[in-house]
Amino acid sequence: MNSLSLSHRARKTPPSPIRKLAGLAQQAVERGTHVYRLNIGQPDLLSPVEFVRGVQSYSGSVVAYEGSQGSRELLAQWSEYLNRDYRIGITPEEMLITMGASEALIFAFMVCCDPGDEILIFDPTYANYMGFSAISGTRLVPLPCSLENRFALPRGEEIEPFISPYTRAVLVCNPNNPTGTVCTDDELLMLVDMCHRRGLFLIVDETYREFVYDGRKPRCIFELAPRDEHIIVIDSLSKRFSLCGARIGCMITWHDELMRAAFHIAQARLAAPTIEQEAAAHMLGGIKRRYLDDAISEYSARRDAAIEALAEIKGVVASVPQGGFYLLARLPVLDAELFATFMLTEFSMAGHTTFVAPAAGFYMRHELGKSTIRIAFVLNQQDTREAIRILGEGLAEYSKRHPEQCLSS
């Protein structure tokens, strides 16, 4: 006789480290505290007016299913954008519209791996990859990267020993969430070469593709490895166009059989939302390049603001992100989650406090991230500075009230 218990995978799926403390933040707000949210990659940049107008001008009388692959208009516009900016010669055939990059990643995990199969990832990693691994029964194998080495990728000969008979894919997020590291062309080519030699898929999460700084050029991996069947690119409108809530992502692959299998999974869930797809197509058809250029300079300035503000706080070690809009910072505390909780429950400064994500959940080897937080520089420069200043004041107060929780400097 069965008892009414849950599946192992249900019990294994971790809560999101990004959203774990969201309830405490909500309570702080309800107490009247203003909370600066550096915990989540929810930019405050305005979504393109072309998108909002696309929504407002919706004129359907029946909100019908879209095709399982995505709307024709959106596929046409998205492929055109990729060909214009990256000249990768893509057609809609190689694309599948998904409900955010999240769904594209889940599909990729499922078509590459059976339960028990392995995917190599660089650790620390985007926390939700662990959720997708639990959902799909896939094992993530961490390749260690370190703050001291600016989270650069290990060299090929350091990676290869981690490949086992169960390895099916290598997953890299470029530019990286949570580290801000941007892969060099040589590193990408090394991964492509390795996947060819070892018969692996290479999943490249390019959600933050355009956000690279200090004169770097945005890079789609298909520029380096045209039409390469080993590669699956995960793309998303969420961050690029400040459209996180639209839940529109995309999977790109030239591997026919893989695309067909992903399409069958996509059919089972029917379709991505119609109205957001229509508005997104409307947007991509009309948006000016300036929108992205402005966003890139703005994030670059916010990065500088964040780094400068962090440099003012004693005992904090942070890496300078080369791209994306996150960074990891090690604090002089024993347990960053306790500190983040303190910020939301015990501390405020003139009615303000700062919400950061404890980074342990971004490390496969949790203990390595125990003293670290992830900061998303998604607020305007002034708010970013102010939020980090409050973080510094909070740290000072924490060391007074909870000295046993702090590292001596």
Site for a copy of itself in 174-213 (CB under 8 A): 198-201
Query: Helix or strand or coil: residue 253?
Result: strand
The pairing of strands 167-173 and 139-144 is unpaired
Specify the residue, 83 or 164, whose C-beta has the smaller distance to a copy of itself: 164
112 binds a copy of itself (CB under 8 A): yes
Specify the residue, 87 or 198, whose C-beta has the smaller distance to a copy of itself: 198
Q: 375 φ, ψ to 5°?
A: -115, 130
Contact yes or no for 130/21 (Cβ under 8 A): no
Specify the residue, 121 or 272, whose C-beta has the smaller distance to a copy of itself: 272
Site residues (CB under 8 A) for a copy of itself, limited to 149-178: 165, 167-168
Q: Which of 36, 78, 122, 132 binds a copy of itself (CB under 8 A)?
A: 132
Structure tokens at 100: 């955010």
Picking from 202, 196, 138, 206, the residue whose alpha carbon sits closest to that of residue 176 is: 206
The DSSP annotation for 333-360 comes to: BS-HHHHHHHHHHT--BTTEEEE-EEGG
**130-138, 174-182, 287-295, 321-329 -> range binding a copy of itself (CB under 8 A):** 130-138
Burial of residue 282 (CB within 10 Å: 0-12, 13-18, 19+) is buried
**Considering CB under 8 A, how many residues would be counted as binding a copy of itself?**
90
Residue 397's alpha-carbon distances to 23, 37, 216, 385, in angstroms, are 23, 20, 39, 18
Picking from 230, 220, 170, the residue whose alpha carbon sits closest to that of residue 196 is: 230
**215-223, 262-270, 352-360, 389-397 -> range binding a copy of itself (CB under 8 A):** 262-270
**16-24, 141-149, 178-186, 207-215 -> range binding a copy of itself (CB under 8 A):** 16-24
Q: Which of 93, 155, 156, 270 binds a copy of itself (CB under 8 A)?
A: 270
Site residues (CB under 8 A) for a copy of itself, limited to 333-392: none
Q: Which of 128, 322, 348, 399 binds a copy of itself (CB under 8 A)?
A: 128
User: Least separation, in Å, of the C-beta of 241 and a copy of itself?
Assistant: 9
**236-244, 299-307, 368-376, 391-399 -> range binding a copy of itself (CB under 8 A):** 236-244
Site residues (CB under 8 A) for a copy of itself, limited to 52-81: 52, 55-58, 60-68
Contact yes or no for 275/55 (Cβ under 8 A): yes
14 binds a copy of itself (CB under 8 A): yes
For helices 128-136 and 100-112, give the axis angle rounded to 10 degrees. 40
